[in-house]
Amino acid sequence: MKKKLFAVVAASVVGASILVPAQVQAAAKPKLLIWTDSVRKPGNDQYAKAHPQYDIKVELNATLISKVQLFNRVKKGWPDMYFDGAPNLVALQQSKQFGYARDLTPLFPASYWKSFGTANDWCKIDGKMYCVKNDLAHTVLYYDQKLMDQFGYKVPTTMEEFKTIALAMAKDHPGYNVGHLGNGEIYQGWLWPSGCPMATAKGNKIISDAKDPKCTRAVTMVQELLTAGALKKEGSFSADAQKDNQAGKMLMNIGPSWWGDYVVKPAGSFGVPAGRINIAPTPKWPGETKNWSGAWGGGVYMISSHSSPANAKIAAEMIMYSTMDKKFVVSADMVTYPAFPPSAKLWAADRAKAGYYVDGDNAAKVFYDSSLLIRPNVTPVRFNIDSFVDAQGAAIAAGKTVAEAFAAFMSSIDSSATQAG
């Protein structure tokens, strides 16, 4: 009887020694909540599928800024990792007011940060990295090679040359255009590359000067080209712009690195066929030695300051996969220009082979070189500047002069900076 009892007890102990670790392992399986957008979701899903040891839930959600203070009050709900297509908001998410964005500096190898060069400097606040750039949206000059040859124009290398061509085109070939203004075009493609100090964070101050010559020269030139009919007041995403450009009326257009794939090429947008578009650097402004770019977008990854160290580490691994994996960055799912320079070279070389641009190798080189020249006169600030950018474009589209729209834009920045302390 004692032997049987001992055997039962022994079996129970052995069974427990087998079961308990499995239970602990199941309970310890890390759970992560990821908020992303439809463009980034495939990459996040791929990582989750390849790592079944983690319980990763990927959700489409782009509204963290409107919910984070609620999460702060109830002490739950924050996603472990968040992709934000509005990169300026990292300054808000990092601020004491919201407290979401974690200092990422120690989560990644020093070699990772070093490999970015200056491409991730947007995420640096007070010497620490609070986000990782997924993609860059630096501006370049798109031009229709067939029309340039037909009209006898040379590709401009300076803004003065751009202006000369644009005015000649408006006079000799009315109906054609060198761009549109009713969305964010003047901000990204003109004011920013010109060096206009619209909103530059310096410690606890914002440098914003509407009277700076680098602002007034851009405003003056844009108004001159608008008055001549070379620039169109309707935004690039308007029905009027699509109608004109589908009819082959675009001679040149300053746009971001995603412009070709999402605006110029698609049949539902400008619909310019393959073999006509070429790429050049954004033309230099007078007195400048570099072909500075502006930027339109360029989303960022953030990791929650509320996540456990283990979850934060996994989130960092996911970011590294999305920005570094050689197979992923040249896949169809990586649709925008990678911010991580080694990945960008692979992406650009792959896209060069696609055959859309007249000179794919040249396009790849221009995309890469221009990505290193995003002008640092605009930085993340602790208020949402994007709504003011949209309002400026809408004011021009509604018939306001460029100077009036710009003055209102800068006034909004000044008042918001004051309110933000």
Output the pLDDT for position 333: 66
Question: In whole angstroms, what is the distance from residue 177 CA to residue 44 CA?
Answer: 40
- Beta-bridge partners for 128: 125
Output the pLDDT for position 9: 36
Whole-structure pTM value:
0.87
Burial of 47 (0-12, 13-18, 19+ CB in 10 A): buried
Question: In whole angstroms, what is the distance from residue 195 CA to residue 193 CA?
Answer: 5
Question: In whole angstroms, what is the distance from residue 151 CA to residue 342 CA?
Answer: 39
Q: Where are the domains of the chain?
A: 26-136+297-324, 139-293+370-419
User: Does 139-293+370-419 match 26-136+297-324 at the fold level?
Assistant: yes
Question: In whole angstroms, what is the distance from residue 359 CA to residue 365 CA?
Answer: 10
Burial of 71 (0-12, 13-18, 19+ CB in 10 A): middle
CATH 3.30.70.2190 fits 139-293+370-419, yes or no: no
Dihedral pair phi/psi, residue 358, rounded to 5° = -60, -45
Looking at this protein, which amino acid is placed at residue 35?
A: W
Q: Kindly give the confidence (pLDDT) of every residue in the chain, 421 residues in length, as a single tens digit, with 9 standing for 90 and above.
A: 434 433 333 333 334 334 445 444 455 789 999 999 988 898 899 999 999 999 999 999 868 988 999 999 999 999 999 999 889 899 999 999 999 999 999 999 999 999 988 889 999 998 999 999 999 999 999 999 999 999 999 999 999 999 999 999 999 999 999 999 999 999 999 999 999 999 988 878 889 999 999 999 999 999 999 999 999 999 999 999 999 999 999 999 999 999 998 999 999 999 999 999 999 999 999 999 999 999 998 899 999 999 999 999 999 999 999 999 888 887 766 668 999 999 998 888 887 888 899 999 999 999 999 998 999 899 888 888 889 999 999 999 999 999 999 999 999 999 998 887 7
* Cβ atoms of 364 and 184 closer than 8 Å: no
DSSP state of 13: H
For 26-136+297-324, CATH number out of 3.40.190.10, 3.40.30.10, 3.30.479.30, 3.40.50.970 equals 3.40.190.10
